[in-house]
Amino acid sequence: MTREPAEVRCLLMRGGTSKGAYFLADDLPRDPAARDDLLLRIMGSPDPRQIDGLGGAHPVTSKVAVVSVPDDPDVDVDYLFLQVAVDTAEVSDRQNCGNLLAGIGPFAVERGLVAAQDGQTSVRIRMVNTDDLATATFPTPGGRVDYTGTARISGVPGTAAPVVIEFARGTSPLLPTGRAREVIAGTPVTCVDNGMPTVLISAEALDITGYETPQELEDNVALRDRIERIRLEAGPLMGLGDVRDTTVPKLSLLAPPAHDGAVTTRTFIPHRCHTSIGVLGAAGVAAGLRIPGSVAEGIAQLPSRGDRLRIEHPTGFLDIEAGVGTGADGTPTTERTAVVRTARKIFDGTVFPRPAQPAPPSELSPQGAADDSPSR
């Protein structure tokens, strides 16, 4: 039996508007069940405060990136994203995270997986969760990652070096249901997948304005129940199967822009309302705005030229470039998706996981010895 590590090498990093623990795959157990159990104890789950671990008591601060050397010569690193639940003992690999993605290139350089160039470095990344590809480009003067700069993103104080992320065209259909509009649980929706399964819904159709704070929306029990009904019905229609125990699809509520952007959003991920918006969630919204016949028609205000769209969210905005074309069969397809994010190294060292719990009494003999211990 392999002894569990008493400490694990870890780099804690803010990526975009999320924060997560970054690991080399070789520093974690190979068995997924053992790995997930270890990560729960590292992050401090299950506990609403995650008081005994690295987690920050919210899904956007309870994330893990696992990075490894790929077997594909056209890719520099593999990136597996794991969402660690806060108050339940769950670890999910059913989605990507475009925010933590911003830190993958710098992490790969920090760990020596990719040699930095003098000036700027581009890292080709395979997102293992969905097999999609992205290239991250960031400054590396003198062959070292420079996290300082003047790029500013909403939801993050101060400025940092820009990380330009360009996503390769995915293989999944942009419209998983094959239609631009569905009626699910009595509500018109548009189901899109531009790197993240997302359901777009007009806020007005849910009897809200779409300008409420995340806390106000979370406190609206009737709204949350209705959104969950939509999510559960949308899952099978989007080819995701039973989604009761998963974190996808996400749901973005749309309202007219309030600050000269293209649209205002409130995004459920899926049961908490995001204080901003995820990168891939924004990619889905941006693509959905450009699809003829989507629920965004009459809500969004699209620019007269160019692919760049400003997606408004509770703490500001996210600028994203999204081009949508038409495939040979006449269905909408993603042409290009690119975004500027930032990342910052917070600490690099070792983390000490909470010890594993001893076997429950039912699994012990009356003398306290394990049931399978040899007879005297």
Residue count of the chain: 376
The dihedral formed by the CA atoms of 324, 327, 330 and 331, expressed in degrees to the nearest 10: -60
Q: Classify the phi-psi angles of 239: left when phi > 0, otherwise alpha if psi is within -120 to 50, otherwise beta.
A: left
* CATH code, domain carrying 47: 3.10.310.10
Task: Judge if 111 and 212 occupy the same domain.
Answer: no
Please report whether residue 246 resides in a domain.
Answer: yes
Task: Judge if 22 and 124 occupy the same domain.
Answer: yes
Task: Judge if 321 and 251 occupy the same domain.
Answer: yes
Q: Which residues of the chain have pLDDT under 70?
A: 1-3, 358-376
d(CA 376, CA 361): 21
Task: Judge if 56 and 132 occupy the same domain.
Answer: yes
Residues contacting residue 320 through CB under 8 Å, at least 6 positions apart = 279, 282, 283, 286, 308, 309, 311, 337, 338, 339
**Predicted pLDDT of residue 40:** 98
Q: What's the total number of domains in the chain?
A: 2
Please report whether residue 373 resides in a domain.
Answer: no
Task: Judge if 154 and 15 occupy the same domain.
Answer: yes
Give me the domain span that covers residue 326: 182-330
Q: Report which of 28, 40, 87 is spatially closest to residue 59, judged by C-alpha positions.
A: 87
Distances (CA, A) of 308 to 151, 235, 262, 318: 17, 29, 10, 10
**Predicted pLDDT of residue 273:** 97
**Predicted pLDDT of residue 361:** 59
Task: Judge if 189 and 146 occupy the same domain.
Answer: no
Task: Judge if 164 and 231 occupy the same domain.
Answer: no
Task: Judge if 212 and 151 occupy the same domain.
Answer: no
Task: Judge if 99 and 232 occupy the same domain.
Answer: no
Please report whether residue 362 resides in a domain.
Answer: no
Task: Judge if 113 and 202 occupy the same domain.
Answer: no
Please report whether residue 174 resides in a domain.
Answer: no
d(CA 8, CA 253): 39
Can you tell me which residue has the tokens 């009459």?
Answer: 298
**Predicted pLDDT of residue 103:** 98
